[in-house]
Amino acid sequence: MAEKIKARVMDAPKIKRAFTRIATEITERNRNLNNLVIIGIRTRGVFIARRLKKLIKDYEGIDVPFGVLDITLYRDDFSELERHSVKKTEINFSITDKDVLLVDDVLFTGRTIRAAMDSLVDLGRPKTIQLMVFIDRGHRELPIRADYVGKFLPTSRREKVRVHLKEIDKKDEVQIVEPEGIK
């Protein structure tokens, strides 16, 4: 079904400011950055996590370990296999007793984060798991809340939030879209 752009809610300068604020919040909360690891959830969470890793290194001089998490096999809708392709989880360090910063683009029902936490616990026992999402759009089905949020963006259920990142979309922008013909 075709979609129409209902609103452009963040442009490149607003996105840059949000990243700066979030990186500062992370460094303030995690006084022992040597115990912090950053793990991005495929796909856009990976690019957001890389940006945060770079900002933390620029600000604090600490090269935080970075990993990539694929949660496909942990999803509760995995039976719809034709929609999913399993990719590789790339975490080349132990997460046991680490402060794990889990990163995703949009928090909606909470099911993706639940799957990600299940996946992480299978890899080790973190000291803490913190959650950073770029957009929190509400409509939670599970009791999950982000520790760091780029923007709270109330939406209707029929709307979708599109986070565009220059690394894969050639531009930084956040849009609200909805199916054509909806008024």
**pLDDT at residue 86, rounded to an integer:** 67
93-99: average pLDDT: 98
Torsion on CA atoms 81, 88, 51, 154, rounded to nearest 10: 20
Q: What percent of the chain has pLDDT over 70?
A: 93
Q: Which of 66-70, 80-84, 160-164 comes out lowest in average pLDDT?
A: 80-84
Using alpha carbons, select from 99, 73, 77, 75 the residue that is nearest to residue 88. Answer: 73
The reply to whether 167 falls in a domain is no
What is d(CA 150, CA 106) in angstroms, rounded to the nearest whole number? 10
CA distances from 172 to 42, 47, 52, 143 (A): 18, 12, 15, 30
The reply to whether 137 falls in a domain is yes
The reply to whether 68 falls in a domain is yes
What is d(CA 16, CA 23) in angstroms, rounded to the nearest whole number? 11
- The answer, yes or no, to whether the previous bond of 24 is cis (omega within 30 of 0) is no
pLDDT, tens only, 148-178: 999 999 999 999 999 999 999 999 999 999 9
**Phi, psi at 169, each rounded to 5°:** -110, 0
Position with higher pLDDT, 81 vs 178: 178
**pLDDT at residue 53, rounded to an integer:** 98
The reply to whether 145 falls in a domain is yes
37-46: average pLDDT: 97
Judge whether 84 and 110 are in contact, CB under 8 Å: no
142-153: average pLDDT: 97
The reply to whether 95 falls in a domain is yes
Give the structural domain span for 94: 14-75+88-158
Domain count, the chain: 1
CATH number of the domain where residue 112 is located: 3.40.50.2020
What is d(CA 90, CA 12) in angstroms, rounded to the nearest whole number? 29
